[in-house]
Structures are given as structure tokens and as C-alpha cells.
């Protein structure tokens, strides 16, 4: 598929379920391959990905509900919990620190670059999941949930949570996007 078609198909899909249209191994292999292929500044490889499914999926979203102590409606949390799984995106700060020590003139930039690379990975996986017929959205309950998630899944101390991507079979597609006047944001000289 052309990148432009893949980008057109990717949407924030909140109406998801636990029935994947393909075998889970295909999804896990795709996530691994995308993580290997997405570039990093200085080839630093700072992204870490943890995929939770089945009982861990339920544990995750019940824990998020609990941490927010009723401030996030149960129905909203259940919408994410209804998915087949959730991809947790982290940055390994040990990798960032190592590069900062190795290349002091660039030290302040490595955190920023690690997040840029994380964003590239998130978009690649989000788009690729949709190519596989799987809906997903991008959630940011971090940093409020950071300690709870680390405890729940024994995540290394140096990992910093960057995003949560619940995914699953698609119940319904979101409504079409409004076309924007892109000349307000893109200038060709
Ligand atoms: C960096 C980033 C952070 C986002 N954070 C959230 C979020 O915390 N919760 C959420 O529901 N959507 C989040 N979104 C999704 C956007 O709101 C959504 O992509 C945008 O409104 C366009 O809609 P579309 O994804 O259907 O094209 C995020 C998207 C990006 C790129």
C-alpha cells in the first residue's frame, strides 16, 4: 500500500473489540519489525514497546480507572479495555543518558529526539495496524499512571511511559474528516 493511502486510512478508532481479523502472531511480528525499522537520531534505539493482551489488558485498564479515582468515566475506560490489547510505548532513559554522556554538545537534544522517534514509531504502528484491519487510538494517561504501570508489569525503572495505544477489531469507523485548507499550513516556494 502507498504511504498516502495508509495515512488516509489511519484514524482514531475508539469503537474496538477483542476479535482480531488476523492471527495475533502477525500483529506481534509486525510490531517487532516496525520497531526495528523506524529510525532514531544517532541510531540510538531508545524506544521500548510492551504489548499487553488478555488478562493483562483488563488489569491495565482497571488499574488506570483506579488510579484516576473516578475522574475518568468507567464507560470511557471500558471502551479501551474492550480492545484486544494495548501497546505501551516507553523511552529507555538509560539509552538517552548514555548518548548525552557520549556527545555532550548535543546533550539537551537527546530527550527531544527520543520523543520524536517515539512519535514516528507510534504513527508507523498505528497506520500499519489499520492496514491489517485493526483499529487503534493513541492515549496519554501518563504520567499519572507511570508508577502503577511499572508495578503492574515489572517495567524497568529507566523506562519512561510515552503513550498507550489500545487496539482491536473494528466495530464502527469514525465519521469522515473535514477537508482543511492545507495552504494555511504548507508553503511551497
Ligand atoms: C501526539 C498525539 C497525542 C494524542 N493524544 C491523544 C489522547 O491522549 N487521547 C485521545 O483520545 N486522542 C489523542 N490523540 C489523537 C488525536 O486527537 C487525533 O489523532 C486527531 O484528533 C485526529 O483524528 P484522527 O486520529 O481520527 O485522524 C493524539 C494524537 C497525537 C498525534
Predicted TM-score of the model (pTM): 0.97
- Grid coordinates representing 2 are 502507498
Ligand 1 centroid–CA 13 distance in Å is 10
At 73 the pLDDT is 98
Ligand 1 centroid–CA 59 distance in Å is 23
Q: Which of 138, 166, 178 to mutate to test the pocket of ligand 1 (most atoms within 8 A of CB)?
A: 138
* Dihedral Cα 151, 152, 157, 160, nearest 10 deg: -120
DSSP H helical segments within the chain, as ranges? 3-9, 24-37, 54-67, 74-81, 93-102, 109-131, 146-153
Intervals of the chain under pLDDT 70: none
At 140 the pLDDT is 98
Q: Is 12 in the pocket of ligand 1 (CB under 6 A)?
A: yes
Cell 516507553 sits on residue: 90
Q: In angstroms, what CA-CA distances link 19 with 30, 96, 112, 131?
A: 18, 37, 36, 16
Ligand 1 centroid–CA 138 distance in Å is 6
Q: Which of 129, 137, 172 to mutate to test the pocket of ligand 1 (most atoms within 8 A of CB)?
A: 137
- Other residues' Cβ atoms within 10 Å of the Cβ of residue 74: 10
Topology of domain 3-173, per CATH?
Answer: NADH Oxidase (3.40.109)
- Grid coordinates representing 67 are 488510579
At 50 the pLDDT is 98
| Distance from the Cα of residue 28 to its chain's centroid | 14
**Span 100-137, pLDDT tens digits:** 999 999 999 999 999 999 999 999 999 999 999 999 99
Q: Is 115 in the pocket of ligand 1 (CB under 6 A)?
A: no
Burial class (CB in 10 A: 0-12, 13-18, 19+), 99: buried
Kindly list the domain boundaries of the chain, sorted by start residue: 3-173
Amino acid at each position: 500500500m502507498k504511504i498516502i493511502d495508509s495515512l488516509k486510512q489511519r484514524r482514531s478508532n475508539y469503537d474496538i473489540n477483542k476479535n482480531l481479523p488476523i492471527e495475533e502472531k502477525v500483529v506481534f511480528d509486525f510490531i517487532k519489525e516496525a520497531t526495528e525499522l523506524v529510525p532514531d537520531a544517532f541510531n540510538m534505539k531508545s524506544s521500548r514497546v510492551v504489548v499487553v493482551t488478555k488478562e493483562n489488558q483488563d488489569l491495565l485498564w482497571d488499574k488506570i480507572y483506579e488510579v484516576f479515582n473516578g475522574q475518568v468515566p468507567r464507560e470511557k475506560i471500558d471502551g479501551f479495555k474492550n480492545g484486544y490489547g494495548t501497546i505501551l510505548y516507553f523511552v529507555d532513559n538509560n539509552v538517552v543518558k548514555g548518548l548525552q554522556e557520549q556527545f555532550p554538545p548535543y546533550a539537551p537534544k537527546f530527550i527531544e529526539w527520543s520523543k520524536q522517534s517515539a512519535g514516528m514509531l507510534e504513527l508507523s504502528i498505528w497506520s500499519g495496524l489499520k492496514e491489517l484491519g485493526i483499529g487503534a487510538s493513541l492515549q496519554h494517561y501518563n504520567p499519572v499512571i507511570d508508577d502503577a504501570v511499572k508495578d503492574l508489569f515489572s517495567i524497568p525503572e529507566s523506562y519512561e511511559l510515552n503513550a498507550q495505544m489500545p487496539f482491536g477489531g473494528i466495530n464502527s469507523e469514525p465519521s469522515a474528516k473535514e477537508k482543511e485548507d492545507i495552504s494555511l499550513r504548507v508553503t511551497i516556494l
